[in-house]
């Protein structure tokens, strides 16, 4: 940044920064809004010199310092337009004029899964969100985005981390609210726990009322079966398994999938199925073949099928769909395909789908950029894209989920 120069913010960029143009190049100003004027003060940052439209009151005291949120200062209409715009722009970059619906925004306090950083210094543990590339953790007293049950566990989680981390060591906590309590996995360098230390960790887990505690790969405590109910089916899951971040978003995504099926659909393939988030809601109506490369996820899904009631037949297979995407021939006979890949998208699988005759393809994605890339492939293969629905389950972050439906 250049000292003392004033700029006017024109728009909000992909990471939530305000963007101003200077000498034909974009300048990014964190936490700035369109219509505001800012003075750029060298490497140290920038200062607001003139207000634009009203700012929103942040819902959290840690906003601006915590790595979790970038957008609590945006008024609701600006925020929703920005999130929708992320999807519109991603398609625009691929030459697609997408029909993008208004954003479905989840409620605050509904996020059931958190990946938290912990560090031990001077005997004390700091617990907070670490954004990519950011090193400093802000110790959290609250987080209005997370399920309050997770927030209430913060003090106990610090105690757990204190028992595990050496001085100066950092660790990573994955905390998930399952059907009957919190599932906590703590990853740290240290692996050599004595029997006494293990007993102390187990005692702390009991005191916190945790459903399960895992340190590294070692099971430390369990207070019952760890299940998550998806589409009315309880699935016993292993620590750290992928789940959609917010239950409400999971239902919106599942409903969009089910409601987009052809009326007479009988069989659907669920690509990148995970433990069956979309498989089970789909299986209430149609036969499903579920595929994922994660052995533990497919085992959980298969076990759940055995005791599930009121669903159509489900088959589940382990398959690496990057190395060995389902071919157009293998896709033959399915009335619809759902694909919900990781952030990298599913370039090769999209090519096979584009060459197939599957009447309806439903793409679910947490990355508008790779969704748009894969959409281009499907459109070039003869599919017509219907409405795209952005689902804002990563509240106040620069991420957004989206569902797109393709037909031929």
Ligand X SMILES: C[S@@+](CC[C@H](N)C(=O)[O-])C[C@H]1O[C@@H](n2cnc3c(N)ncnc32)[C@H](O)[C@@H]1O
Name the binding residues.
244, 272, 292, 340
Instruction: Pick the stretch among 13-21, 186-194, 242-250, 381-389 that binds ligand X (CB under 6 A).
Output: 242-250
In this complex, which beta carbon is closest to ligand X, that of residue 46 or of residue 241? 241
Smallest separation (angstroms) from ligand X to the CB of 331: 15
Per-residue mark of binding to ligand X, 297-316 (x: CB under 6 A): x-------------------
- List the one residue from 38, 79, 82, 272 that touches ligand X (CB under 6 A): 272
Per-residue mark of binding to ligand X, 219-238 (x: CB under 6 A): --------------------
Q: At what angle do helices 76-93 and 368-380 cross, to 10 degrees?
A: 40
The span from the CA of 185 to the CA of 89, in Å, is 37
Smallest separation (angstroms) from ligand X to the CB of 341: 6
Smallest separation (angstroms) from ligand X to the CB of 236: 15
3 state DSSP class of 169: coil
366 is a catalytic site residue: yes
Any alpha helices (H) in 165-218, and if so which ranges? 195-208
> Does 325 help bind ligand X (rule: CB under 6 A)?
no
Q: Across the chain, how many H-helices and E-strands are there?
A: 10, 22
The span from the CA of 171 to the CA of 142, in Å, is 20
> Does 320 help bind ligand X (rule: CB under 6 A)?
yes
> Does 294 help bind ligand X (rule: CB under 6 A)?
yes
Q: Supply the DSSP symbol for 43.
A: G
Instruction: Pick the stretch among 63-71, 127-135, 338-346, 389-397 that binds ligand X (CB under 6 A).
Output: 338-346
Tokens of 408: 């031929």
3 state DSSP class of 183: strand
> Among all chains, which residue has been given the structure tokens 């305000």?
18
> Does 255 help bind ligand X (rule: CB under 6 A)?
no
3 state DSSP class of 39: strand
Tell which residue, 133, 134, 31, has the closest CA to residue 82: 31
The span from the CA of 72 to the CA of 55, in Å, is 9
- List the one residue from 147, 340, 374, 401 that touches ligand X (CB under 6 A): 340
> Does 287 help bind ligand X (rule: CB under 6 A)?
no
Active site residues: 366
What is the binding site for ligand X (CB under 6 A)? 242-244, 272-274, 277-278, 292-294, 297, 320-322, 340-342
């Amino acid at each position: 940044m250049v000292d003392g120069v004033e700029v006017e913010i024109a728009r909000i960029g992909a990471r939530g920064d305000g963007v101003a143009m200077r000498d034909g190049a974009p300048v990014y100003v964190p936490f700035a809004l369109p219509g505001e004027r800012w003075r750029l003060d060298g490497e140290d940052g920038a200062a607001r010199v003139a207000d634009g439209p009203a700012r929103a009151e942040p819902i959290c005291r840690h906003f601006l310092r915590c790595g979790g949120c970038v957008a609590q200062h945006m008024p609701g209409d600006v925020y929703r337009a920005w999130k929708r715009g992320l999807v519109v722009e991603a398609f625009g970059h691929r030459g697609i004029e997408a029909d993008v619906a208004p954003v479905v925004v989840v409620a605050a306090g509904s996020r059931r899964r958190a990946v938290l950083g912990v560090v031990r210094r001077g005997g004390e543990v700091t617990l907070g969100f670490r954004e990519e590339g950011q090193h400093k953790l802000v110790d959290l007293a609250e987080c209005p985005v997370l399920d309050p049950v997770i927030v209430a566990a913060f003090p106990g989680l610090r105690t757990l981390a204190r028992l595990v981390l050496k001085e100066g060591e950092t660790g990573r906590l994955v905390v998930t609210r399952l059907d009957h309590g919190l599932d906590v996995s703590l990853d740290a360098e240290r692996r050599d726990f004595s029997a006494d230390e293990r007993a102390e960790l187990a005692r702390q887990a009991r005191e916190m009322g945790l459903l399960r505690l895992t340190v590294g790969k070692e099971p430390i405590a369990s207070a019952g079966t760890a299940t998550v109910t998806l589409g009315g089916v309880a699935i016993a899951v292993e620590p750290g398994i992928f789940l959609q971040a917010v239950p409400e978003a999971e239902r919106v995504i599942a409903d969009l999938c089910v409601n987009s099926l052809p009326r007479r659909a009988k069989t659907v393939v669920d690509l990148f199925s995970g433990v069956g988030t979309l498989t089970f809601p789909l299986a209430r109506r149609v036969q499903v073949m579920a595929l994922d490369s994660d052995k533990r996820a497919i085992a959980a899904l298969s076990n759940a099928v055995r005791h599930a009631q009121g669903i159509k037949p489900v088959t589940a297979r382990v398959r690496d769909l990057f190395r060995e995407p389902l071919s157009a021939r293998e896709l033959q006979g399915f009335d619809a395909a759902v694909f919900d890949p990781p952030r990298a998208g599913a370039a090769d699988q999209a090519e096979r789908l584009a060459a197939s005759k599957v009447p309806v393809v439903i793409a679910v994605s947490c990355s508008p950029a790779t969704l748009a890339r894969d959409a281009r492939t499907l459109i070039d293969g003869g599919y017509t894209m219907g409405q795209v629905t952005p689902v804002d389950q990563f509240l106040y972050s620069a991420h957004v989920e989206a569902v797109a439906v393709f037909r031929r």
